[in-house]
Structure 1
Amino acid sequence: VVLALLIAAVAVVQGAVDIEKAIELLNKCKKETGATENVEEMIKTKTIPTTHEGKCMILCAAREKGFVKDEKINTQAISDFMEAKYADEPEKLEKAAETLGKCSTIDTSGLEKCDKAVAYVKCAKDNNFEI
């Protein structure tokens, strides 16, 4: 869902191309949401946004990647992303699948949509998962 891209937003992404793509997408969403977070610093320090706009920036990025559809987590899209990303790294793929399984079922009822997005990121971070 939100999970894969959200993880990318919080984690140090492997490879300069991936980092640049993540920064570009998050900066686009930053403009759309009015977020004030420094995207590069956020990725570098693995910081989860705490402002409403910052949380909505994460949701925006997840939507753009197809990880959120109709305000719900799109586990299939995330799973497909992880399978492609970790095709040659079975241990990372297994960890990704395990984290997706745990985090896709967390209770987000009662949370506002942007807070839900961040709840998934926090779950991934709490499970020591990084891209």
Structure 2
Amino acid sequence: MKFLSFFFILGLTVIISVSAMSDEMKDMMRSISEDCKKSEGATDVDVEKMANEEYPDTKEGKCMIHCLQEQFGVTKEGEYQKDNVKALVEMMAGEDEDKRNASDDIAEACKNETDPDKCERGVMIAKCLEKEGKARGFK
């Protein structure tokens, strides 16, 4: 679920270990997460669920996921951005060529996740990215 956590924290809705991030990157992600929490009316319980690698149940928590995805380019005005997702996956893969090579497959696999509700769609995208990432060796 670390793949999912990265996307939550980074707006994608995580592949990389938080401990490997610089303090500056952690601060930036905390700030954006807090902004999305406030703008969507999410609660500490919603954030706690995500910290425990679970999906929030509330509309506000789900909308926080969507907000994070918007902030980091996974979606733009609610539309999935395959090329941005591919680039983010490549970044998170680091020097691992197998994982870098899987970036297009992961991004492609999730492009058809749709729901008229942007917040539900955000969760669907996050779950898809988690599933596809795990299937290709991301943890």
TM-score range, shorter chain: 0.7 to 0.9
Task: Provide the rounded CA distance (Å) in 2 between the counterparts of 1:12 and 1:87.
Answer: 10
Unaligned runs of 5+ residues in structure 2 are: none
Relative to structure 2, which stretch is displaced further, 90-99 or 11-20?
11-20
Task: Provide the rounded CA distance (Å) in 1 between the counterparts of 2:9 and 2:103.
Answer: 10
Query: What is the root-mean-square deviation in Å for CA atoms of aligned residues?
Result: 2.9
Aligned to 1:116: 121
C-alpha deviation, 1:19, in angstroms: 4.9
Q: TM-score, normalised by structure 1?
A: 0.75
Relative to structure 2, which stretch is displaced further, 97-106 or 66-75?
97-106
Residue in structure 1 matching 2:104, options 94, 97, 100: 97
Aligned to 2:7: 5
Task: Provide the rounded CA distance (Å) in 1 between the counterparts of 2:83 and 2:105.
Answer: 14
CA pair 85-62 structure 1, distance change in 2 beyond 3 A? same
Task: Provide the rounded CA distance (Å) in 2 between the counterparts of 1:81 and 1:88.
Answer: 13
Aligned to 2:67: 60
Residue in structure 1 matching 2:47, options 39, 51, 55: 39
> Is 1:24 matched up with 2:31?
yes
Q: Give 1:30's aligned amino acid.
A: K
Provide the aligned length of Structure 1 versus Structure 2: 126
CA pair 125-79 structure 1, distance change in 2 beyond 3 A? closer
> Is 1:83 matched up with 2:85?
no
* Conserved? CA contact 2:36–2:68, under 8 Å: yes
Identity over aligned residues, as a percent? 25
* 1:66 alignment partner, SS class: coil
Task: Provide the rounded CA distance (Å) in 1 between the counterparts of 2:122 and 2:59.
Answer: 11
CA pair 92-7 structure 1, distance change in 2 beyond 3 A? farther
Task: Provide the rounded CA distance (Å) in 2 between the counterparts of 1:104 and 1:31.
Answer: 28
Residue in structure 2 matching 1:126, options 120, 126, 131: 131
Unaligned runs of 5+ residues in structure 1 are: none
Q: Give 1:56's aligned amino acid.
A: C
Task: Provide the rounded CA distance (Å) in 2 between the counterparts of 1:105 and 1:113.
Answer: 13
